[in-house]
């Protein structure tokens, strides 16, 4: 990287700061992590240079899950491509569809019925809860506690069941359509969702009791992997990572889509920009998501669940960059249409991609025991990095 990139605040030990090219000590150890390491969140690989337990430099290597989704998009119609969007960030599939659908709708200047908008918000927030529960579980595993993993997944199971009621799928839904959602909510969905939210709030309190206040956990995560707000912006970080660094910034607030401005909720934010703050931001975000779902359920308007759309979708020629708040951060779709039924170019900007870009900067001069925690605090999903 360029010379301007400075290290984290922590000073390198005097022993480490000896001679040789690249300021490395003479006898550093090069060690390979991944692509099938237990805590790299999928098939991510990096080569780390270690001085004892301290990381001198890491070189991230991605691309093991590259499926060429952007090229596939150019060879399929808008409708055919939609299921593939689910496969990007597979823990937050609804949010991916959300971004894609409203990007195409904006390109077509299509109005979505109010009811469909509300259903979409419910789905997206349910999925956000799911994704953050996975984060919670994974965070537990990364600091060596196994119980949070099962706690998180137990709760996620019920949320997935709710989404199964809507879409029939549990992980990849293909539920949103361009112009609305595929089908109306089934009977019993409201009651079950309300019951789930009640349970969920209780469980969230239990998570905090079990894990957030744990002395060892706080000791492990406070002051580790600190990213200042300026650096986070410089590295194009977004979502909970950016908010953890003290920026009150949420695309749902800044560029409200699908009626997010109608609901009353807050943007959780951290102060120190360390792993613990990112963790807490995600935990609090789950509570806010529950709040949004409650309001959306109460004020669900009557009407159609889908706008009238032509069978073959042909957006007029033009281009658009549209971003939504995905589960991990800013999820953007740059769609170029040439007036045919296939996108001319589809660029997908995923948050995890940029977070991994900054990995060397964040991991430098940290202990090797901290790498899973810092990597886990970004909550990267390799499906969305490699595309």
CB of 97 to another protein, least distance (A): 19
Query: Which among 19-27, 171-179, 283-291, 326-334 is the span making contact with another protein, rule CB under 8 A?
Result: 326-334
**Phi, psi torsion values for 336, nearest 5 degrees:** -110, 125
Q: Is 15 in the site for another protein (CB under 8 A)?
A: no
Rama region for 21: left / alpha / beta (φ>0; ψ in -120 to 50; rest): beta
Shortest separation between residue 85's beta carbon and another protein, angstroms? 16
Lay out the sheet containing 45-51: strands in order across.
Answer: 29-33, 45-51, 54-61
Least distance (Å) between residue 149 CB and another protein:
8
User: What track of x and - describes contact with another protein for positions 26 through 55 (by CB under 8 A)?
Assistant: ---x-x-----xxx-------------x--
At which residue do the structure tokens 């001069």 appear?
365
List binders of another protein among 241-270 (CB under 8 A): 245-249, 253-254, 269
Residue list 139-158, contact with another protein (CB under 8 A): 140-147, 150-151, 154
Q: Segment 300-319, which members bind another protein (CB under 8 A)?
A: 318-319
Interface residue with another protein, options 198, 199, 219, 222 (CB under 8 A): 219
Q: Is 66 in the site for another protein (CB under 8 A)?
A: yes
> Segment contacting another protein (CB under 8 A): 113-121, 280-288, 304-312, 327-335?
327-335
Residue 44 Cα distances to 29, 36, 365, 374, angstroms: 20, 7, 21, 14
Q: Which is nearer to another protein, 305 or 328 (CB)?
A: 328
Using alpha carbons, select from 41, 97, 373 the residue that is nearest to residue 219.
373
User: Is 302 exposed, middle or buried, given 0-12, 13-18 or 19+ CB atoms closer than 10 A?
Assistant: exposed
Q: Which is nearer to another protein, 92 or 152 (CB)?
A: 152
Residues that contact another protein, how many (by CB under 8 A): 83
Choose between 190 and 367: whose C-beta lies nearer to another protein.
Answer: 367
Closest CA to 52 of 91, 15, 23: 15
Binding mask 100-139 for another protein (x = CB under 8 A): ------xx-x------------------------------
DSSP structural state of residue 212: I
Binding residue (CB under 8 A) for another protein from 166, 297, 358, 374: 358
**Nearest alpha carbon to residue 56 among 354, 357, 360, 372:** 360
Assess 220 for contact with another protein (CB under 8 A): yes
Tell me if 210 contacts another protein by CB under 8 A. Answer: yes
Q: How far is the CB of 88 from another protein (least distance, A)?
A: 13
Q: What's the min distance (Å) between Cβ of 307 and another protein?
A: 18
Query: Helix, strand, or coil here: 257?
Result: coil
- Residue 374 interacts with another protein (CB under 8 A): yes or no: no
Q: Which residue, 58, 126, 29, 41, is CA-closest to 357?
A: 58
336 sits near another protein (criterion: CB under 8 A): yes
Cα–Cα distance list, 36 to 33, 41, 355, 374 (Å): 8, 9, 20, 18
Residues in the chain, overall count: 387
**Residue of 18, 114, 158, 368 interacting with another protein (CB under 8 A):** 368
Could you tell me the smallest distance in angstroms from the CB atom of residue 195 to another protein?
A: 18
Q: Which residue lies nearer to another protein by CB, 87 or 347? A: 347
Of 62, 96, 47, 71, nearest to 385 by C-alpha is: 62
Does 205 contact another protein by CB under 8 A?
no
| Candidate ranges 15-23, 62-70, 120-128, 184-192; the one touching another protein (CB under 8 A) | 62-70
Q: Are strands 330-337 and 343-349 parallel, antiparallel or unpaired?
A: antiparallel
Report d(CA 12, CA 18) in Å as an integer: 10
Residue 57 backbone dihedrals phi, psi, to 5 degrees: -160, 145
């Amino acid at each position: 990287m360029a010379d301007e990139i400075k290290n984290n605040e922590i000073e390198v030990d005097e022993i480490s700061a000896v001679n040789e090219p690249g300021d490395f000590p003479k006898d550093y150890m090069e060690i390979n992590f991944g692509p099938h390491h237990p805590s790299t969140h999928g098939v991510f690989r990096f080569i780390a240079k270690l001085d004892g337990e301290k990381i001198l430099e890491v070189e991230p290597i991605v691309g093991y899950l590259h499926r060429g989704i952007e090229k596939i998009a150019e060879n399929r119609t808008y409708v055919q491509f939609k299921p593939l969007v689910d496969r990007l960030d597979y823990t937050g599939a609804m949010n991916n569809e959300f971004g894609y659908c409203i990007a195409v709708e904006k390109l077509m200047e299509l109005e979505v019925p109010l009811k469909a908008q509300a259903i979409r918000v419910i789905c997206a927030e349910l999925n956000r809860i799911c994704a953050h529960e996975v984060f919670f579980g994974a965070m537990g595993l990364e600091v060596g506690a196994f119980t949070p993993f099962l706690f998180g997944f137990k709760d996620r199971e019920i949320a997935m069941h709710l989404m199964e009621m809507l879409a029939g799928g549990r992980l990849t839904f293909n539920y949103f359509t361009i112009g609305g959602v595929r089908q109306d909510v089934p009977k019993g969905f409201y009651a079950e969702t309300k019951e789930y939210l009640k349970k969920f709030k209780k469980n969230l309190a239990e998570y905090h009791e079990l894990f957030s206040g744990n002395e060892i956990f706080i000791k492990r995560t406070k002051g580790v992997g600190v990213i200042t707000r300026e650096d986070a912006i410089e590295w194009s970080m977004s979502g909970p990572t950016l908010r953890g660094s003290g920026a009150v910034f949420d695309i749902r607030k800044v560029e409200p889509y699908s009626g997010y401005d109608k609901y009353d909720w807050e943007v959780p934010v951290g102060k120190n920009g360390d792993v613990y703050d990112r963790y807490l931001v995600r935990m609090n975000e789950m509570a806010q998501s529950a709040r949004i779902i409650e309001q959306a359920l109460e004020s669900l308007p009557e009407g159609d669940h889908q706008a009238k759309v032509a069978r073959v979708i042909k957006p007029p020629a033009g281009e658009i960059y549209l971003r939504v708040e995905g589960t991990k951060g800013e999820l953007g779709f740059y769609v170029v249409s040439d007036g045919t039924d296939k996108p001319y170019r589809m660029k997908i900007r995923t948050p995890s991609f940029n977070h991994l870009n900054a990995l060397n900067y964040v991991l430098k001069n940290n202990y090797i025991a901290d790498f899973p925690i810092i990597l886990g605090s970004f909550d990267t999903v390799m499906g969305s990095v490699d595309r």
